[in-house]
Amino acid sequence: MILPALLLIPFLYIILAILIKSKKVKTWLSFAFSLINLGFAIWVMAQVFEAGMIKTQMGSWPAPFGITLVADRFSAFMLLVSALVFAVVTLYSIQSVDTARIKNGYFLFAHGILMGVNGSFLAGDLFNLYVWFEVMLMGSFILISFGGERAQLEGAIKYLILNLISSFFFVAGIGILYGKMGTLNMADLSQKIAQSGDVLSQLSPAMVLIVVGFAIKGALFPFFFWLPASYHTPPPAVTALFAGLLTKVGIYSLIRIYTLFLYHSTSFWNPVVLWIGILSMVIGVFSASSQYDFRKILSFHIISQLGYVVIGLAFYTVAGLAAAIFFLGHNMISKTNAFLVAGWVHRERQTLNLKVLGDMFKKNTLWGVLFFISAFSLAGLPPLSGFIGKYLVIKAGIESGHINVALVALFVGFFTLFSMVKIWIEVFWKNTPPEVEAPVNTKPLPHGLMISASIILALAIVGMGVFAGPVVNFCEMAASDLLNTELYINFVLK
């Protein structure tokens, strides 16, 4: 019964935040709720660790008829990492986000996102998944648009419309699928698809719609446009939250339906997914290295790094999926932390343009170290989490015979290194260009909570690298569960 709690905690906060007026109470309550959420995520993880999978049939209606919440190892892993990221970003936001936004319900909408994210990771029902996508979209749209400066609104509208298209595709796909299969429960669907045999091809339009829906959410090539168009506009804390959670839900869902539905027609889907992954990796990294805005570089990199996850999925072996899962977790943490540092730079200098920044390492060594850890983790250098992720993907590629794909991933890593070092050199090492007016207020702004938040994530990055053994072990178990579709079907339906 602990699974519904993960939905109720953010829901409760939303209700409380509407009722409570005091800004201070709302703020600290938000942090408290994010910690409770983290606690429950740990609890779920502990239970899943023992049992492998846990489920709740909502309203006690038996499986294909009611809505099932399921947490297998993959879900539990994603829940835990996202709960950590959420708690840390909440802590960071307390200091980083302006009062006006907090007064107008910043934390309320953030908890809306959390509810959507938790729901998506737990949903065992395709339509229910759609509902959680909507919750997430609504929360995120308001966060990205409100308090708007002009550029922000322009980004917001692109974000909204392109994501609505995603929802439209997704729900259309669900409709068609329901018309044919008469069921929405994912395990039931998977079972029935497996039995369908020769009429399988009739399902493909629905599958295309759903996959494209997820690919838009996951910002994969060629559906990523909304991400670089909007991520650099809202306050940095919002970007950090989005970078950590949103696209990952799309990728999570893609992995979920691939292992439940799409694996029946690999001859079509495998090359499609593989190429989506390769092109996302390559185009993301090329675009990133051409940018001169701290956040834009990082945003384009999200696309590139999700490409790694997708090729891991396309390898479709235990090693490949384990690599994909590990990489997802690593990326959520490292990327969020990089954005947290960007937020500090923005706070100090009111700009994120690399050409006018400089001297930040001199200004605060610790923030520099924190960025160094995140950036070099993203670039895949040992002993940080990114290295393990890269190693796992490359190893899985070589083992499954995709040597050329693995080589592409390798050289994408090289260009990633280039753009991360570019940020490091331009923002932290370089002197502020003389023609730029030096910032007058030399007194550092308070950043105690912000830096603590970032330190927590940096420790997680190092921990996931240095003590990768158990994590990878867990990811491998999660991956073999995913490949064993029967296991999931039997567990949910019986």
Instruction: Please report how close the Cβ of residue 52 comes to another protein at its closest, in angstroms.
Output: 22
**By CB under 8 A, is residue 271 in contact with another protein?**
no
Residue 42 vs 337, nearer CB to another protein: 337
Cα distance between residue 194 and residue 208, in whole Å: 18
Cα distance between residue 372 and residue 429, in whole Å: 11
Which backbone phi and psi does 56 adopt, to 5 degrees?
A: -135, 125
Candidates 5, 29, 229, 455; binder of another protein (CB under 8 A) is: 229
Give the footprint of another protein on residues 404-463 (CB under 8 A).
406-407, 410-411, 413-414, 417-418, 421, 425, 429-431
Q: Of 19-27, 125-133, 245-253, 441-449, which segment contacts another protein by CB under 8 A?
A: 125-133
Using an 8 Å Cβ cutoff, are 352 and 294 in contact? yes
Residue 48 vs 142, nearer CB to another protein: 142
The HSE-up count of residue 44 (CA atoms within 13 Å, CB side) is 34
DSSP bridge partners of 68: 57
Residue 46 vs 290, nearer CB to another protein: 290
Candidates 14, 38, 45, 373; binder of another protein (CB under 8 A) is: 14
Give the footprint of another protein on residues 273-302 (CB under 8 A).
283, 286-287, 289-291, 300
Give the footprint of another protein on residues 308-347 (CB under 8 A).
none
Sign for the pseudo-dihedral over CA of 56, 50, 246, 10: positive
Using an 8 Å Cβ cutoff, are 162 and 230 in contact? no
Give the footprint of another protein on residues 15-74 (CB under 8 A).
18, 58-59, 61, 64-67, 69
Residue 42 vs 272, nearer CB to another protein: 272
Residues 99-122 as b or e (16 or more Cβ within 10 Å = b): eebbeebbbbbbbbbbbbbbbbbb
Give the footprint of another protein on residues 78-117 (CB under 8 A).
100-101, 104-105, 108-109, 112, 115
Q: Of 71-79, 254-262, 329-337, 400-408, which segment contacts another protein by CB under 8 A?
A: 400-408
Residue 244 vs 284, nearer CB to another protein: 284
Residue 87 vs 379, nearer CB to another protein: 379
3-class DSSP state of 467: coil
Give the footprint of another protein on residues 140-159 (CB under 8 A).
141-142, 145-151, 153-154, 156-158
Residues 244-264 as b or e (16 or more Cβ within 10 Å = b): bbbbbbbbbbbbbbbbbbbbb
**By CB under 8 A, is residue 7 in contact with another protein?**
yes
Residues 449-462 as b or e (16 or more Cβ within 10 Å = b): bbbebbbbbbebbe
Instruction: Please report how close the Cβ of residue 477 comes to another protein at its closest, in angstroms.
Output: 14
User: Which x/- pattern, by CB under 8 A, does the window 160-199 give for another protein?
Assistant: xxx--x---x--x--xxxxxxxxxxx------x---x--x
Cα distance between residue 37 and residue 39, in whole Å: 5
Q: How many residues bind another protein (CB under 8 A)?
A: 123
Could you tell me which of 46, 126, 109 has the C-alpha nearest to residue 79?
A: 46
